[in-house]
């Protein structure tokens, strides 16, 4: 019996015929030979619920899963956009019905109260301050307690929330656990804990809803332009700028299309943000298909940072910096953040690992590039070869600088040399280690400067080899 197939869920017709969750499939078929059973797919069910949550973003940005087959929407401050709570509830009901779904919905003061009324009550809209009166007749199972606790409460004669509400909370907690008191307070509306949405609430949100579906691409861009300008005004009032902008396009068939824009520094320049939007639209592999039309557009700013008005310098460096930053943002919008890279320094003495390329918008450590000594030539070349170029060298043994070397069939006579700078391998890394390297900065008779190293020592074994690692400007 432990390995028997069991019913995970039943539709209304099956429940009316006496089938329940947990019943073995053999017993169910014995009762109803014509039973149609479909193999459960919990992963697919959850994926569908997540897609349904994305659809409900059009009503509020605060949407959470209420497992196993429910959603919680925090509509605080949103209902008036749809004509009030009753109109919003009716609209959601029509959408779900058009999608072939049955809906039981409740609007209450706390998430737990709405959960209890929708699953164990008749649903509806609870007037402000009347949560307890609506919830007291519900069974104790509405608290979402473990089944054994529900059975114990029933055996003790506590079958409804009203039975629990008149009992001292300390006595209930002492006998049935502290969780029952917490759940009871939240369900009856005495304590409110906000939902944890699937997507973090953005710092700034502006949106437009349309009475008729919008199909015109030019009109859609005008709406986006107005939303960007409105968000810029909100950010200006706060003294902030956005680092990320997310535009949601809600289609009438329930599909949701999102465009994500990033900037390298805080921005509320509406024209610059609109240019990024156009770059992103032009770079889409899958064009923005309106289908039967869009019924809502939302612009969210999930990442904001303080932004003060920049003062232009006399040498116009601030203008140049803004132009470079704007160019980087446009490249990211067109090609993607992972294809626009910058170099950052790493805390290592190994010149091969001193710099690495990261996405231009990625957060990096606070390590700064080493500043050159005043009036001194650079210790590292700007250009490094990967891998280093092998050269033929005549040098003093054992630790002398090279006297001449041949690279790419050209012989270079050394006029000046400085070194050696010995760089040992990083012994704490796993795997085989490269040999010890002695680096020299050399200058040939024509004034060209090179960075050369000897890999290994002359002490026994295979003789060391020489390589050209970089060129000085």
* Average pLDDT of span 237-262: 88
Long-range residue pairs from 230-233, CB within 8 A, at least 24 positions apart, any chain: 230/206, 230/299, 231/204, 231/206, 231/268, 231/299, 231/301, 232/268, 232/269, 232/270, 232/273
Per-residue pLDDT of 184-193, as tens digits, reads 888 888 888 8
Cβ contact 442:414 at 8 Å: yes
Rounded CA-CA distance 420/440 in Å is 5
Q: In sequence order, what are the residues at sequence separation of 6 or more whose Cβ sits closer than 8 angstroms to the Cβ of residue 363?
A: none
Per-residue pLDDT of 147-164, as tens digits, reads 888 888 888 888 988 888
Cβ contact 139:154 at 8 Å: no
* Average pLDDT of span 1-29: 84
Indicate whether 175 pLDDT > 90.
Answer: no
- Rg, the chain, Cα only: 34
Indicate whether 217 pLDDT > 90.
Answer: no
Please tell me the least confidently modeled range out of 117-126, 128-137, 307-316, 337-346: 307-316
Residue 365's pLDDT band, with cuts at 50, 70 and 90, is low
Per-residue pLDDT of 308-347, as tens digits, reads 765 555 555 555 667 777 787 778 877 877 788 888 888 7
Indicate whether 72 pLDDT > 90.
Answer: yes
The per-residue pLDDT for 115 is 92
Indicate whether 306 pLDDT > 70.
Answer: yes
**CATH class, range 1-40:** alpha beta
Residue 415's pLDDT band, with cuts at 50, 70 and 90, is very high
The per-residue pLDDT for 1 is 46
- For strand 402-407 and strand 410-423, is the pairing parallel, antiparallel, or unpaired? antiparallel
Cβ atoms within 10 Å, residue 162: 16
Rounded CA-CA distance 296/153 in Å is 48
Mean predicted lDDT score pLDDT of the chain: 85
The per-residue pLDDT for 453 is 93
The full set of domain ranges for the chain reads 1-40, 85-187, 204-333, 340-371, 383-471
* Average pLDDT of span 34-39: 88
Phi-psi sector, 53: left (phi>0), alpha (psi -120 to 50), beta: alpha
Q: Which fold has domain 85-187?
A: DNA polymerase; domain 1 (1.10.150)
Provide the 3-class DSSP secondary structure of residue 16.
helix
Check for a shared fold between 1-40 and 204-333: no
Tell me the helices (H) and strands (E) count for the chain, helix number first: 13, 16
Q: Percent of the chain beyond pLDDT 70?
A: 95
The per-residue pLDDT for 245 is 92
Indicate whether 292 pLDDT > 60.
Answer: yes
Per-residue pLDDT of 430-468, as tens digits, reads 777 778 889 999 999 999 999 999 988 877 677 888 999
The per-residue pLDDT for 313 is 56
The per-residue pLDDT for 318 is 57
* Average pLDDT of span 109-137: 90
What is the CATH architecture assignment of 204-333? 2-Layer Sandwich (3.30)
* Average pLDDT of span 71-75: 92
The per-residue pLDDT for 309 is 65
Residue 262's pLDDT band, with cuts at 50, 70 and 90, is confident
* Average pLDDT of span 207-229: 89
pTM over 0.85: no
The per-residue pLDDT for 312 is 56
Buried b (16+ CB within 10 A) or exposed e, 272-306: bbeebbebbbeeeeeeeebeeebbbbbbbbbbbee
* Average pLDDT of span 417-435: 82
């Amino acid at each position: 019996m432990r390995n028997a197939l069991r019913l995970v869920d039943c539709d209304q017709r099956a429940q009316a015929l006496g089938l329940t969750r947990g019943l073995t499939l053999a017993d169910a078929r014995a009762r109803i030979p014509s039973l149609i059973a479909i193999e459960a797919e919990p992963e697919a069910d959850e994926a569908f619920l997540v897609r349904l949550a994305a659809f409900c973003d059009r009503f509020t940005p605060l949407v959470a899963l209420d497992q196993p087959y429910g959603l919680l929407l925090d509509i605080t401050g949103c209902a008036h956009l749809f004509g009030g709570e009753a109109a919003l509830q009716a609209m959601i009901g029509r959408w779900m019905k058009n999608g072939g779904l049955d809906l039981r919905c409740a609007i209450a003061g706390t998430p737990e109260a709405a959960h209890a009324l929708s699953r164990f009550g008749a649903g509806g809209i609870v007037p402000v301050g009347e949560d307890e009166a609506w919830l007291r007749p519900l069974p104790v199972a509405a608290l979402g307690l473990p089944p054994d606790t529900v059975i114990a409460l029933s055996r003790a004669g506590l079958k409804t929330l009203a039975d629990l509400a008149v009992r001292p909370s300390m006595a209930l907690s002492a006998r049935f656990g502290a969780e029952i008191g917490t759940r009871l307070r939240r369900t009856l509306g005495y304590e409110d804990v906000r939902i944890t949405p699937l997507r973090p609430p953005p710092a700034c949100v502006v949106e437009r809803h349309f009475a008729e579906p919008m199909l015109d691409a030019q009109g859609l861009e005008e709406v986006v332009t107005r939303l960007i300008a409105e968000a810029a005004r909100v950010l200006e009032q706060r003294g902030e700028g956005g680092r990320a902008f997310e535009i949601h396009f809600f289609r009438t068939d329930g599909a949701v299309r999102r465009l994500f824009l990033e900037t390298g520094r805080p921005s509320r320049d509406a024209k610059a943000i609109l240019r990024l939007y156009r770059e992103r639209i032009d770079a889409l592999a899958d064009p923005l298909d309106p289908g039967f039309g869009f019924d809502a557009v939302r612009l969210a700013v999930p990442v904001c940072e303080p932004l003060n008005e920049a003062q232009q310098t006399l040498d116009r460096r601030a203008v140049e910096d803004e132009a470079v930053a704007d160019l980087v943002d446009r490249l990211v919008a067109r090609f993607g953040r992972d294809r626009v890279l910058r170099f950052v320094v790493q805390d290592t003495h190994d010149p091969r690992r001193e710099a690495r390329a990261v996405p231009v918008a990625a957060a990096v450590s606070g390590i700064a590039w080493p500043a050159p000594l005043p009036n001194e030539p650079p210790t590292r070349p700007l250009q490094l070869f990967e891998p280093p170029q092998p050269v033929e060298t005549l040098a003093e043994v054992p630790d002398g600088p090279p006297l001449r070397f041949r690279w790419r069939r050209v012989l270079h006579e050394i006029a000046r040399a400085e070194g050696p700078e010995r760089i040992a391998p990083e012994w704490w890394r796993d795997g085989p280690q490269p040999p010890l390297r002695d680096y020299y900065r050399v200058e040939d008779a024509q004034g060209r400067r090179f960075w050369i190293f000897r890999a290994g020592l002359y002490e026994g074994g295979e003789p060391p080899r020489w390589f050209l690692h970089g060129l000085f400007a």
